[in-house]
Each structure stands twice: as structure tokens, then as C-alpha cells.
Homo-oligomer: A and B are copies of this chain.
Amino acid sequence: MPKPLRLGVAGVGTVGVGVLTMLRAHAERLATRCGRDVQVTAVSARDREKRRGVDLSPFEWFDDPRDLARSRDIDVFIELIGGAGDPAYSAVEAALDAGKHVVTANKALLAHHGVALAELAEARDVALKFEAAVAGGIPVVKVLRESLLGNEVARVYGILNGTSNYILTRMQHEGRAFDEVLSEAQAAGYAEADPTFDIGGQDAAHKLAILTSLAFGTQISYDSIYLEGIEQIDDVDIRSADRLGYRIKLLGVAMKTESGIEQRVHPTMVPKHTAIAEVDGVTNAITIEGDFVGDIMLVGPGAGAGPTASAVVSDITDIARGVDGAPFIVPASKLALYERAQMRAHEGGYYIRLSVYDRPGAFAAIARRMAEQEISLKSIVQSPEEGDVAQGEEGSGAPVPVVMITHRTTEAAIRRAFDAIEGDRHIDRPPKMIRIEGM
């Protein structure tokens, strides 16, 4: 049997403990399947004394992950520190530079420095693997890198943030307001004390940036992502969507268009009775559209100690079995420049909610403004909560909600129509819009 594969684990938080637990629980299974033993030999973390529920005493200890990264006693450096900056960045760089394979769960690091690190890994002929960085336990990196390698991908999209999906799901099931559900999610540990990163879409965007590069063979371009969080989703939108046959999900979408690649993270309406619409709670889901394979959807836990450990261990077993290849499939030097499609050129259907003064001519003026931009309407519902009639007396002048679903149009047309409608002063607050993904 070949020599054991020796692992150094940097970062022993929830995920690190998960990885140590899984490697220990399934040591024999892994040896049989990899043809060699897989052993943790050294660890590094901020606090050696912290109670973690795992015994770290069998492992060599390093205070500084960079020293662990350079240790002669490891073959693979497992980076579970997190964050795009140091010490994670310099530790990964040190490990690659020292000729160690690297496995990381760090999406921020890859979204910001993925290509540079891939170049270094390729120059040193070592692996840089990151299955756990995107969608936790869902094996989407391997599926894109290997299973769908022969396909030209047209679009990849999905539910990439469990916290946001949990909040939207509870709003939908319980008919409750965003703030209320968020507070409870925080109390229950499903959302961070500072939830900005999740509900603002940045976490999903980090994952999307990596998926885009894998799907399209382009350089990673996190800063090009159009970003809109779920903070502005009202319960009335969720109920209106439901009546119109949709669910609202925070989606990350990357797709090829004539003007370049669109990368966007925003609340999206998807038709009810599709599998993705039924992906509830903290579960993630990703769909890949390939030219030969068609649509492949992967669904599973996007976070948590066990699922993330499973992904980290799959990278380790690939290394143990001698599986290698460029981190982003195409050698880093051959990744295409990322050409950004302008968001104004985005095409799709739109859900629009206006608060319109109920007076003669208001409605006609709005319809005219839409028509001027050649936006055609699929449905239009006044006072969606109460049926198709206004709540007050006819022409009372009080603002009433009007909800519209458009046929396919462009973001630019929608923006111009909104400007014109706002100028007409028939509405008492800015229009609200949610993009529809036509699935």
C-alpha cells in the first residue's frame, strides 16, 4: 500500500471539528476506497485550549497556520480559517509555494484571489481544491469540473444562501414580515447577529463568482456581480407572487448573453410547482444548463459541519486517489477574460408593484408609459390582496396597490418606464420590481 496521505488542518471551528470527526469515524472506509491511509498529522487554530469536543493531542500543534503550511510532515494543507485576507491567504500561498496540495472551504478567498492561487498551484504541480467553498455538501464543483466538462454551459443558477432561503420560506409559509422572521432566525441561530453578508447577497455572490469561472472558463470577477439582497421583500410581495403562481427565492444567476456574461444575485420569482420552487429552508439548489445534457439540478445542504466536512473529505480523497487537474478546469493562464454584460441589457419577465393614487386616468397613464417602452403585460392585478377591485370607493384618490407581470422585456425598458411613471406623479412611492426567471 502506498504511504499514508498526511493532512494538516488549519482552523478547528465547527467545520474543522466536522472534518476531524469524519476522518476518524470513517478511517477504514477511506483507506479501502482510496487505497491508502488518510491521516491528520498536524493542526493549527487560534486557541489551543478551547473546548471543541475533539481531542487534538495526537496532532502536532502550530500557533501560526503559515508554519503548518510549510511543515515537512504534511502532504495536504486543509484551510478552514475563512476570510479573503490573512492569515488564510498567506497560509494557502505558503502551502502551495512549499509544494503542498491545498483543500479549502474559503469562498471569499477564492472569489478574490482564486485565479492567482490557481496559477501558483499549477506552477508547483499541486492540487488546489474547493468543493466545500460552494454550496456546502452539494458536489457542484466536481459536477461542473468533471461530469459536465464536455458541455458548453448556457446558464448556471441557484439558491446559494441558506439563511436567505430560510427567511423567505418562513415568510411564505407563515405570512409574516421580513424583520420579524429575521429576528427569530437570529434567536434560533439560523442567521448571524450581523446578517448583512447573507441577506445582502454577498455570500451567494462569492459562490456565484466561483461557479461562473467553472461554468464558462473565464477569470473570476466578483466585483462585476449585480447585487440585490432580500431586505426589501415585503410579505405583500410574497403573497402576490403566490396568487400569481410564483415563489420568491434569492437566486444567483450566471449566464451567457450576446453582450457578455451576466452575473447577478437578487430576489427572483420562479414558477410554483417547479422543483426549485419547493426547495425550502436552509437547503441550497443549483441548476446547470448544458448544451448536450440539458438541465441538471443539484439539491442539498449548503452549510453545516457535516455537509461541509463531506465536501472537504471528497477533495482529500481525490488527492489521495491521485486525481488532479487545473483548479478551474482550464489552465489559469488560458482562462478567458471576463466580459461583463450590462445589467440594463438583461432580458426577462418582471413583477412590478406600484402604489397608485386611485383617480381617473392614473391607470391609463401608467399603461401608456409601459406601452411606450414596448413592455407588454401578461397580467395585471389591482389590490392583489382583495381581488381585482379597488378597496376604497372608486376614484377615492387614495393609493391602491397594482401588481403587474410583464412578458419578456429589457431592464433598460423597465428603468425608463419607471422614470416616466415616477415623473407622472400617479404613484406615492418608488415602483418595486422583482425579476422573473423563466424556468
Contact = CB atoms under 8 A, between A and B. Distances in A.
Contacts of A124: none
B301 A299 contact: no
A364 to B, nearest CB: 39
Interface stretch (A74-82, A179-187, A322-330, A373-381): A322-330
Given A294-B137, A300-B297, A148 B275 contact: no
A151 B309 CA distance: 10
A412 interface: no
Interface string A12-45: 0000001000100110011011100000000000
A330 B318 CA distance: 15
A297 B294 contact: no
Contact of A310 (B148, B273, B309, B317): B148
Given A143-B143, A298-B298, A330-B33, A292 B149 contact: no
A50 interface: no
Contact of A297 (B30, B148, B299): B299
A296 interface: yes
How many copies of this chain are found per oligomer? 2
Interface residues of A, number: 62
A172 to B, nearest CB: 11
A106 interface: no
A381 to B, nearest CB: 24
Nearest to A304: B294
A321 B325 contact: yes
A32 B141 CA distance: 18
Contacts of A143: 139, 142-143
Given A307-B292, A325-B321, A334-B32, A149 B298 contact: no
A108 B325 CA distance: 33
A227 B374 CA distance: 57
A283 B146 CA distance: 22
Contacts of A147: 131, 139, 142, 311, 314
Given A292-B310, A297-B297, A297-B299, 15 more contacts: A26-B152, A32-B330, A137-B292, A137-B296, A139-B146, A139-B296, A146-B323, A148-B310, A150-B316, A275-B276, A293-B300, A294-B307, A297-B300, A322-B324, A323-B323
9 contacts: A22-B150, A29-B152, A30-B150, A275-B279, A275-B285, A291-B306, A293-B310, A297-B299, A298-B298
Interface of A: 18, 22, 25-26, 29-30, 32-34, 131, 137-139, 142-143, 146-152, 217, 273-279, 285, 290-301, 304, 306-307, 309-311, 313-314, 316-318, 321-325, 329-330, 334
